[in-house]
Amino acid sequence: MGKITKKSNIASYSKPKIIAEISGNHAGRKLRFLKLIKEAFKNGADLVKIQTYEPKDITLKKKTKNFIIPSGLWKNKSLWDLYRKACTPFDWHKDAFKIARKLEKNIFSSPFSLRSVDILEKYKCPIYKIASFEITDFKLINYIASKKKPIIISTGMAQIKEIKNAIKLINKYHNKITILHCVSNYPTEIRDSNLKKIDTLKKQFPKNKIGLSDHTKGIATSVLAAQMGVEYIEKHFNLDSKRTADSAFSIDSTQLKELKNVINYMFLGFRKEQKVQKKNLFLRRSIFSKRKIKKNEKITIDNIETYRPKIGICASKYFKILGKRSKKNIKANEPIFQDQLI
Superfamily of domain 17-53+88-270: Aldolase class I (3.20.20.70)
Q: Please count the other Cβ atoms lying within 10 Å of the Cβ belonging to residue 90.
A: 14
Which residue, among 139, 146, 219, 135, has the nearest Cα to 176 in the 3D structure? 146
Burial class (CB in 10 A: 0-12, 13-18, 19+), 279: exposed
Give the 3-state secondary structure percentages of the chain, helix then strand then coil, rounded to 5: 40, 20, 45
Fill in the amino acid letter for 150. P
Q: State the Cα–Cα distance between residues 215 and 180, nearest whole angstrom.
A: 12
Torsion of CA 110, 114, 117, 119, to 10 degrees: -120
Name the phi and psi angles at 51, rounded to 5: -125, 140
Tell me, yes or no, if the two domains 17-53+88-270 and 276-340 fold the same way: no
Is the distance from CB of 301 to CB of 307 less than 8 angstroms? no
At the second CATH level, the architecture of 276-340 is Alpha-Beta Complex (3.90)
Strand pairing class (286-289; 106-111): unpaired
The three-state secondary structure class of 88 is: coil
Q: What is the pLDDT along the chain (342 residues), one digit of tens a residue?
A: 544 444 433 344 579 999 999 999 999 999 999 999 999 999 999 999 999 999 999 999 999 999 999 998 889 999 999 999 999 999 999 999 999 999 999 999 999 999 999 999 999 999 999 999 999 999 999 999 999 999 999 999 999 999 999 999 999 999 999 999 999 999 999 999 999 999 999 999 999 999 999 999 999 999 999 999 999 999 999 998 778 778 889 999 999 999 999 999 988 876 666 676 778 888 999 999 999 999 999 999 999 999 999 999 999 999 999 999 999 999 999 999 999 999
Domain residues of the chain, as ranges? 17-53+88-270, 276-340
pTM score, two decimals? 0.81
Q: State the Cα–Cα distance between residues 110 and 134, nearest whole angstrom.
A: 10
Name the phi and psi angles at 74, rounded to 5: -110, 30
Q: What local confidence, expressed as pLDDT, does residue 76 receive?
A: 92
Give the chain's end-to-end CA distance (angstroms, integer): 56
Interval 38-76: pLDDT, tens = 999 999 999 999 999 999 999 999 999 999 999 988 899
